[in-house]
Structure 1
Amino acid sequence: MKISQKEQIEMLFEDHLEGRGLKPETIKRKSIELNRFLSYLESIGRRDLREVSSKEIEEYFLFMQEKGYSSSTIITSHAMTADLFRALHKNDMILTNPMARTEMYIKEKSGVKVILTEEEMDAFLCSIETATGYGKRDRALFELMYVTGMRVGEVVKLTVEDVDLSHSEVLIRKGKGDKDRIVPVGQVAGRFLQDWISHARNWFNTGESDSLFLNSKGRTLAATAVRHRLKYYLKQAGIEKEGVSPHSLRHSCATHLLAGGADIRFVQELLGHESLETTVTYTREVVTGLKRMHRMYHPRENEIYPQGETL
């Protein structure tokens, strides 16, 4: 009876781990991570491990982060993936080891949210020139992320059919928690989306992709590419704040809405938070800002702390 490539990989991987003298419980844990990784590859149409690229591996770790896996689980999966491709390379099943060029992005658990101010967001977005197709795409992408608070993993999965500009809304399919939700787009982001879809997207769509945002080869724009474009435009705008990521646009969206007086339950629905407690964490950023403004501008505070003085 002929065994499948998946079964062959599982057997080779287990032999490799046993050869290293690992404990049975460690081998079992790594085998679980292996199956999770193989299932992900199958979901993106990658069934041959010999064709897996460093970029696809990086996207897997980003996928895990967007799905809410803990840092320790992602680190465990990274170690498993390194073991897997080391074993494949050792047994001449792959010519080069893609893990040698793979970066891993881990969301810090410090609780500190990196947020751009409204002025910084405006400078960032206005730094994106829309005279080119790339500019039209990127302006639409980042305007949409900021106005909706979408996760990067959600925005790259959008299709053209998910966008309903006649009703100024977008359908987010299978967000975190595998739940669909509809979010408002607004007039500004809607205008840039219309410009991208009507005047530039067809230049990128070399095949039959229905993805909303495409790369130069006509394929779905990757989460890693979004990160790279973000860093590029931050530099263009002269914003040197440390730790800014695509998730910072989500943090900024929530914080600016609450600071502007939005109901916390609206923000909860917009962001797709299951628990209101998750949304409440953003109010701390608003309170901190209020305290700062209060101390700077309230007459009673100015009597105690003249301009420029602190405790």
Structure 2
Amino acid sequence: MCIILSTHYYKQWYNHSHVAQTTKAAMTNELRRLEDFLIQTGFPAEEKINFDRFYYDPTTEVYEPFDEEMIDNYILHLKMKNSSDNLLYNSIVYLRSFFKFLKAANLIKHNPVAFYRNSHYKRPIRNKWLSVDECNKLLHLAINKDPDLKQDYVLLLLMISTGLRNSEITNLCYHQIDFERDVIYVDKGHKTTASTVYMTNTLKRVLKEYTNHPDYKKRLSNGNQRLFYTDTGREHSPASLNIKIKKLCKNAGITHVNVSPHSFRFTCARLMFESEISLVTIQRQLRHKYLATTLRYLGLDSASKELIEDLSNITPDVDYE
């Protein structure tokens, strides 16, 4: 009884959609659940579904497409089976992706999930950011450790104020800094597409001092473009940067949270927000595709998220930044 999985809809999606095999398997299971529901509601098991001619309306004598009301009934059916919020959320995400593909491929005229509200997103907010006081402790520790070159001080200040990712920091080179435009060009790193982040006046000043230091100029003259190096003079890797950050935090007495380089993306977002910088500007600085991701970084409550989603029609992206 495959009223969906045996159709050209499913075959075209399965053969031509650009999703991972694990995702295809999960979405196939979701479509099986939808099939079972439709059969329980009376859809003939021997018929293949036509999403554009799903209902027959005797008052108008025309066929109506598969619509949001049917999705509502399906979600209610799942709720009555005591499905978790996670399953309900994923069901809507998978159906949205499936029907979006069908619409883009001109296989259907109407996407019933295009504007369907997904109110089952229940991802707990964890405190991943550092306070202003903790940032100051780290910076004070770093500058006392190396008052001459100040490499760790510059590294920490850059991470706190730009929100760059671990791999973007470790790949950062001198030529990416534009002191005239007050920006850093970012084009290397995990999840990175070519873009820019802004520098504060303080960061710009200390970067100039750092890159004009004789020790750094010597590295540069030897062809070493990387901005930061380990204490032994080697190029940083994401793993070595993680070790350095944990060591600095331990020495500064910061133990309430498991700090990693990624914690500074959360910290950057939070400090900008507390400085009353707009959400869109924070999203731009962190280069998030969805504003809902930025809201999660800020630790805003679900009511705030729902308001933003209402205004912007945003689907929260479940990436794992």
TM-score (norm 1): 0.52
1:243 to 255, 258, 262: 258
| Local SS of the residue matching 2:185 | strand
Q: Computing the radius of gyration over CA atoms, which structure comes out larger, 1 or 2? A: 2
> Do residues 180 (structure 1) and 214 (structure 2) align?
no
> Do residues 140 (structure 1) and 154 (structure 2) align?
yes
The CA distance in 2 between the partners of 1:265 and 1:249, in whole Å, is: 19
Q: Which residue of 2 aligns with 1:127?
A: 141
Q: Structure 2 counterpart of 1:114, which letter? A: K
Q: Which residue of 1 aligns with 2:239?
A: 224
The CA distance in 2 between the partners of 1:140 and 1:273, in whole Å, is: 24
The CA distance in 2 between the partners of 1:119 and 1:204, in whole Å, is: 33
Q: Which residue of 2 aligns with 1:18?
A: none
1:264, CA displacement in angstroms? 0.7
The CA distance in 2 between the partners of 1:266 and 1:216, in whole Å, is: 35
Q: Structure 2 counterpart of 1:275, which letter? A: Y
Q: Which residue of 2 aligns with 1:266?
A: 281
| Local SS of the residue matching 2:230 | coil
Task: Kindly indicate whether the alpha-carbon contact (under 8 Å) linking 2:127 and 2:299 is maintained by their aligned counterparts in 1.
Answer: no
Q: Which residue of 2 aligns with 1:252?
A: 267
Q: Which residue of 1 aligns with 2:164?
A: 150
Q: Structure 1 counterpart of 2:281, which letter? A: F
The CA distance in 1 between the partners of 2:276 and 2:302, in whole Å, is: 12
The CA distance in 2 between the partners of 1:223 and 1:120, in whole Å, is: 22
The answer to which structure has the higher helix fraction is 1
The CA distance in 2 between the partners of 1:273 and 1:214, in whole Å, is: 28
1:139, CA displacement in angstroms? 1.0
Q: Which residue of 2 aligns with 1:167?
A: 181
The CA distance in 1 between the partners of 2:218 and 2:233, in whole Å, is: 8
The CA distance in 1 between the partners of 2:144 and 2:220, in whole Å, is: 18
Task: Kindly indicate whether the alpha-carbon contact (under 8 Å) linking 1:130 and 1:139 is maintained by their aligned counterparts in 2.
Answer: no
Moved over 6 A (4+): none
> Do residues 213 (structure 1) and 228 (structure 2) align?
yes
For each residue in 1:45-72, what CA deviation from the matched residue of structure 2 results, as whole angstroms up to 9, or x when unmatched? xxxxxxxxxxxxxxxxxxxxxxxxxxxx
Gaps of 5+ in 1: 1-28, 30-108, 289-311
The CA distance in 2 between the partners of 1:194 and 1:119, in whole Å, is: 25
Task: Kindly indicate whether the alpha-carbon contact (under 8 Å) linking 1:116 and 1:249 is maintained by their aligned counterparts in 2.
Answer: yes
1:168, CA displacement in angstroms? 2.0
1:286, CA displacement in angstroms? 8.1
TM-score (norm 2): 0.50
| Local SS of the residue matching 1:188 | helix
1:179, CA displacement in angstroms? 1.4
Q: Which residue of 2 aligns with 1:278?
A: 293
Task: Kindly indicate whether the alpha-carbon contact (under 8 Å) linking 2:269 and 2:282 is maintained by their aligned counterparts in 1.
Answer: yes
| Local SS of the residue matching 1:183 | strand
Identity of aligned residues (%): 24
Task: Kindly indicate whether the alpha-carbon contact (under 8 Å) linking 2:266 and 2:298 is maintained by their aligned counterparts in 1.
Answer: no
1:215, CA displacement in angstroms? 3.3
The CA distance in 2 between the partners of 1:217 and 1:230, in whole Å, is: 16
| Local SS of the residue matching 1:128 | helix
Q: Structure 1 counterpart of 2:235, which letter? A: T
1:235, CA displacement in angstroms? 2.6
1:228, CA displacement in angstroms? 2.1
| Local SS of the residue matching 2:299 | helix
For each residue in 1:12-64, what CA deviation from the matched residue of structure 2 results, as whole angstroms up to 9, or x when unmatched? xxxxxxxxxxxxxxxxx9xxxxxxxxxxxxxxxxxxxxxxxxxxxxxxxxxxx
1:114 to 122, 125, 128: 128
| Local SS of the residue matching 2:284 | helix
Task: Kindly indicate whether the alpha-carbon contact (under 8 Å) linking 1:133 and 1:196 is maintained by their aligned counterparts in 2.
Answer: no
Gaps of 5+ in 2: 1-20, 22-122, 304-321
| Local SS of the residue matching 2:212 | helix
Change (3 A) 1:231 1:178: closer
Question: Map of 1:25-36 to 2, 5 A cutoff?
Answer: none
CA RMSD of aligned residues (A): 2.9
1:136, CA displacement in angstroms? 1.4
> Do residues 234 (structure 1) and 246 (structure 2) align?
no
The CA distance in 2 between the partners of 1:133 and 1:228, in whole Å, is: 21
Task: Kindly indicate whether the alpha-carbon contact (under 8 Å) linking 2:154 and 2:210 is maintained by their aligned counterparts in 1.
Answer: yes
